[in-house]
Structure 1
Amino acid sequence: MKKLIALACAIIVACLGLAVGSNRLSASTGDTGGNTLNLANWGDYIDPKLIKKFERETGFHVNVETFDSNEGMYTKVKQGGTDYDLTVPSEYMVAKMRKEGLLVRLDKSRLHGLSNFGTAFMNRSFDPDNQYSIPYFWGTLGIIYNDRYVRPGSIQHWDDLWARKYRGDIMLIDSARDIMGMSLVSLGKSVNTTDRPTLVAAKAKLDALTPNVKAVVADEIKMYMEQDEAAIAVDWSGEASEMLGENKHLHYVVPSEGSNLWFDNLVIPRTAKHYKAIYAFLNFMMRPENAAQNAEYVGYATPNDKAKALLPAAVRHDRQFYPDAQTMQHLEVYDDLAPKVVREYNDLFLEFKMYRK
């Protein structure tokens, strides 16, 4: 009996040793196995039907956790209390996470579809040679107006918002970089300005806009604009697309003098574990038919040129959401500014909001 027990113990120890060795091998090759993919994404930012399609095709199960700000997602990844395999930061956050060692370099030998993307969306300053990120969606900051209250074509530039006739008519997105950036561009300055006197001047110009501002809010803008309860709003192109789909009297304008060009991107955070699922998902989402379906569902512009070709002509040629080359030349991507400068933007924007009261 003792020999049997000893033999059994030896077998158990051997099995445990094999298991440990297997786990070490998996870790060393960048994959811990399992049939799960943990995706951290913005709310309602992927077609649920695509998730189901991916699960059916691959056998991987997708867990989706949503976040409402780049900063909130960044904090979770940095603290290490998550098990995200993929997440979707904006361009400036990609730069920040890359610099801080929070991202895993892409193994391009496992990727199939990078050639589908337009050159304008690759090799950007926030991630040279796309070592860490794959474009997901892109868009702009612009002006939405309702032709029930605003003569069509009468708003084309940021300075138009300061006209007295729009008193109490304008909704602003609650975002320091965007609204300070809007004011900076109206002064002929860059959205990445770091010079304090120039930032103070931009804030002073915002103060002058106060009589025209109905509210500074976030998601509420959609309700107000869709239900004809506001005449004008400053918001992102994807949000504008949803609004225009609900109200035929709405129009979207990207001022030709400049604005923000933003990118959301798929990246692998350092918390990742399920590499087979990760690369299967990245390749799945780069397939033109899937990227086109996602673009139609979400309403944002796709950087995938082969996917864009599959969209309805009315969408492909819509200058509101796919601006012409001349307008694109004046659009700027947000830089990852130094923390001190970011605080200045936030503090000045807060002062503007308090000034309104």
Structure 2
Amino acid sequence: MKRLLVFFGGILLVLSVLFISKTWLAKKTETVSAAGKNTVIIFNWGEYIDPELLKTFEKETGYHVIYNTFDSNEAMETKIKQGGTHYDIVFPSESIIPKMIEGDLLLPIDHSKITGLENISSFLMNQNFDKKNHYSIPYFWGTVGIMVNTDEITDGTIHKWTDLWDKQYQNDILMIDGARESIGIALQAQGLSLNEVDKDQVERGVKKLETLRSNVKAVLTDEIKTLMINNDAPIGIGYSGDAAFVMSENPAVQYVVPEDGGAIWTDNFAIPKTASNLEGAYAFINFMLRPENAKQNAEYVGYATPNEKAKALLPKELTENEAFYPQPEAMEQMEHYEYLGRDAVEIYNDLFLEWKLGL
């Protein structure tokens, strides 16, 4: 009898624990669900927004912001595919957007829910990577160009990509660690497109890059800014926003948009398939599109704003600087980075890695 009582007592204890656990989990799920409705989860590049704007957005809307960062389009795409975190807003570059659309990773944007879309620069809208902007809205834009320390290079001879091959610049150049950017420079220096997909043409670009080897001091990313600021190299390849930061710290550095090509890039608002708070996503986009907020963000980040009303609020010495806001005729010579397809991307990456290993 005692054994039976112990047995049934054990069953009752297990059932009680299961009931309590189920009740706790239900309450926990409700808490998480409720938090989700009041939370906007943002996935962006590092140091790519004014933190004060996030605080203001939270105060104005009552939403809580969770802000995560990535360091490459590929890392971001992988995270969205995994779906572990329900990101509500993500910021892909134009070159990855077609791939994300093909992979069903982005939701169409309802333009009727967007306020301020009419303020976006027309030359950045309706591009080939996302016709009619069904899936993306420009967030920042800029160019890829050449930072030159005029204290060390005083003759003003660098105007084109081809100038980088001059023998006088031996061991002087900090090359950007990006296959598309670096091979693109070599392609444009030969009058070719930085969006070449033919393997023979890409190999032609890499062969041209081989002849630049003696002039390359190092292949880097963010470190280029520090080295240029500290006068550790006279020439650095980089994005316009990085150049703006370098110039603010080292007035001797100037930024040159090459006359024989150059590239325009955009990073964009997009809503991933993982989004669980669409209202919050649209609220954040609209908040960031407000001219005063876009202006504040541009001042903090240092990249060109696509928001024309925000641009009008910025200092004229900035917006009239053609290195950062090129004239339309100059932009006609530039190319947008396009998604080239998986096979072509692998060719670029493999050939660029092989080139780097030979340095």
TM-score, normalised to structure 2's length? 0.89
Partner of 2:17: none
Within the alignment, does 1:287 sit opposite 2:317 as a pair? no
Q: CA deviation at 1:32?
A: 9.5
Partner of 2:172: 169
CA deviation string 1:98-142 (max 9, x = no partner):
121111111122111100111111111111111111110001110
How do 1:61-100 and structure 2 match up within 5 A? 61-100=64-103
Higher deviation after alignment, 46-55 or 74-83? 74-83
Distance in 2 of aligned mates of 1:35 and 1:186: 51
Distance in 2 of aligned mates of 1:153 and 1:101: 48
Higher CA-based Rg: 2
Partner of 2:15: none
Distance in 2 of aligned mates of 1:116 and 1:102: 27
Within the alignment, does 1:160 sit opposite 2:163 as a pair? yes
Within the alignment, does 1:247 sit opposite 2:250 as a pair? yes
CA deviation string 1:294-325 (max 9, x = no partner):
00000000011011000000011010101111
Note closer, same or farther for the CA distance 1:186–1:66 as it changes in structure 2 (3 Å cut): same
CA contact (8 A) 1:207 1:355 kept: no
Q: In structure 1, which of residues 124, 127, 145 is the aligned counterpart of residue 127 of structure 2?
A: 124
Q: CA deviation at 1:355?
A: 2.0
Q: In structure 1, which of residues 346, 350, 353 is the aligned counterpart of residue 356 of structure 2?
A: 353
Partner of 1:148: 151
CA contact (8 A) 2:150 2:156 kept: no
Within the alignment, does 1:48 sit opposite 2:48 as a pair? no
Distance in 1 of aligned mates of 2:61 and 2:35: 17
Q: CA deviation at 1:201?
A: 1.5
Q: In structure 2, which of residues 224, 236, 250 is the aligned counterpart of residue 221 of structure 1?
A: 224
How do 1:24-43 and structure 2 match up within 5 A? 34-43=37-46
Note closer, same or farther for the CA distance 1:300–1:135 as it changes in structure 2 (3 Å cut): same
TM-score, normalised to structure 1's length? 0.90
Q: In structure 2, which of residues 221, 230, 237 is the aligned counterpart of residue 234 of structure 1?
A: 237
Structure 1 unaligned blocks of 5 or more: 1-15
Distance in 2 of aligned mates of 1:178 and 1:158: 12
Q: CA deviation at 1:71?
A: 0.3
Within the alignment, does 1:337 sit opposite 2:340 as a pair? yes
CA contact (8 A) 1:116 1:306 kept: yes
Within the alignment, does 1:101 sit opposite 2:92 as a pair? no
CA contact (8 A) 1:316 1:322 kept: yes
CA contact (8 A) 1:258 1:327 kept: no
Note closer, same or farther for the CA distance 1:152–1:265 as it changes in structure 2 (3 Å cut): farther
CA contact (8 A) 1:136 1:266 kept: yes
Q: CA deviation at 1:83?
A: 1.2
Instruction: Give the aligned residue type for 2:280.
Output: A
Distance in 1 of aligned mates of 2:257 and 2:131: 27
Q: CA deviation at 1:258?
A: 0.9
Higher deviation after alignment, 253-262 or 165-174? 253-262
Partner of 1:204: 207
Q: CA deviation at 1:153?
A: 2.5
Instruction: Give the aligned residue type for 2:148.
Output: Y
Q: In structure 1, which of residues 60, 63, 76 is the aligned counterpart of residue 63 of structure 2?
A: 60
Partner of 1:317: 320
Structure 2 unaligned blocks of 5 or more: 1-22
Partner of 2:281: 278
Moved over 6 A (4+): none
Aligned residue pair count: 330
Distance in 2 of aligned mates of 1:303 and 1:32: 33
CA deviation string 1:63-110 (max 9, x = no partner):
100000000010011121221000000001111111211111111221
Partner of 1:13: none
CA contact (8 A) 1:138 1:300 kept: yes
Matched residue SS, 2:212 = helix
Within the alignment, does 1:306 sit opposite 2:309 as a pair? yes
Instruction: Give the aligned residue type for 1:144.
Output: M
Distance in 2 of aligned mates of 1:274 and 1:286: 19
Distance in 2 of aligned mates of 1:235 and 1:33: 38
CA contact (8 A) 2:149 2:235 kept: yes
Q: CA deviation at 1:145?
A: 0.6
Q: CA RMSD of the aligned region, Å?
A: 1.7
Matched residue SS, 2:296 = helix
